[in-house]
A and B are shown apart, each in its own frame.
Chain A
Amino acid sequence: MAADIPEIREIQEGQITTVVAEDLEIKGSIRFKSSVMLKGVFEGEIFSEGLLVVGPTARVTASINTKTLISHGSITGNVVAGEQIVLKSSATHNGDLNTPFVMIENGAVFNGSCVMERRQQPFMSEPPAETTAYAEAEPAAAEEGSESTYGGENEEYES
């Protein structure tokens, strides 16, 4: 299947596991797996396997490594997201973005570079035919090739 664009759902605050209120200042590193909403001031590093939401009152100065980022506030720092980055209209982002999918709303401020790498090729119409093209190099190096998953086509490379 073609790489699906991840849906951008509106996240209700009640669904977020941890909400860090506005009066908190945290300096240091945070690791988490589910979801965090930051409304206060944060400085440091964030490592996440889940969803990070930066609220409108938040001021985050950090290098962020997460699966999904939704920003309504101010972020200074580089972000690497495995799935998606969403910069909402009140967001200010100074730093680089590295993610397969990004959405920047009208009104957001973004200063930095954006690199988008996608693992799956999105435009292949016949995946089986295409992948054998890439598998050709490996059986040639293996020399035995008796266990070939692509039957007839690999026989050409058994010498």
Chain B
Amino acid sequence: MIGEKKAATEFDEKDITTIVADDLEIKGTIRFKTSVMLKGAFEGEIYSEGLLVVGPTARVNASITTQTLVSHGEITGNVIANEQVTLKSTSIHNGDISTPNIIIENGSVFNGSCAMRAKDITVR
């Protein structure tokens, strides 16, 4: 299980099922089960049973419910992640986060509250 947590933050773009390029603007609701990388602008709601990656050029304005979130870009909205949230050094997050595991890298901007539904609390 520990191996899975590392894999959630280090992935290859080729392993991601859907990559939404940076010229796309989507408004609405997205549901998916595998993995999505957003590089464009998104507004609305995201429901996922898998991995959501927000790329460095992305601007996401949404309430997000997902298993795992890795953010390199800008997110405004509340996030509920059942497994892990990773805010990378280029990320900006304005909103609340609820997750059992979180990594906030040096350089990222986070404004909001963080509630950890504790099973394992591992803060690095």
Contacts and interface: CB of A to CB of B under 8 A. Distances in A.
B18 A24 contact: yes
A30 B31 CA distance: 15
B21 A18 contact: yes
A74 B93 CA distance: 38
Interface in B51-83: none
Specify the main secondary structure of chain B where it touches its partner: strand
Interface in B15-56: 17-21, 23-34, 36, 40, 44
Contacts of B26: 26, 28-31
Contact of A36 (B17, B24, B29, B33): B24
Contacts of A25: 29-32
B21 A23 contact: no
Contacts of B27: 28-30
A34 interface: yes
B17 A18 contact: no
A32 interface: yes
Q: Size range of the interface on B?
A: 20 to 34
Given A21-B17, A30-B26, A36-B24, 10 more contacts: A18-B21, A20-B20, A21-B32, A23-B33, A23-B34, A24-B18, A24-B36, A25-B32, A34-B21, A34-B23
26 contacts: A17-B21, A19-B18, A19-B19, A20-B18, A21-B32, A23-B32, A23-B34, A24-B18, A24-B30, A24-B31, A24-B32, A24-B36, A25-B29, A26-B29, A26-B30, A26-B31, A28-B26, A28-B28, A30-B25, A32-B21, A32-B23, A32-B25, A32-B40, A33-B23, A36-B24, A44-B28
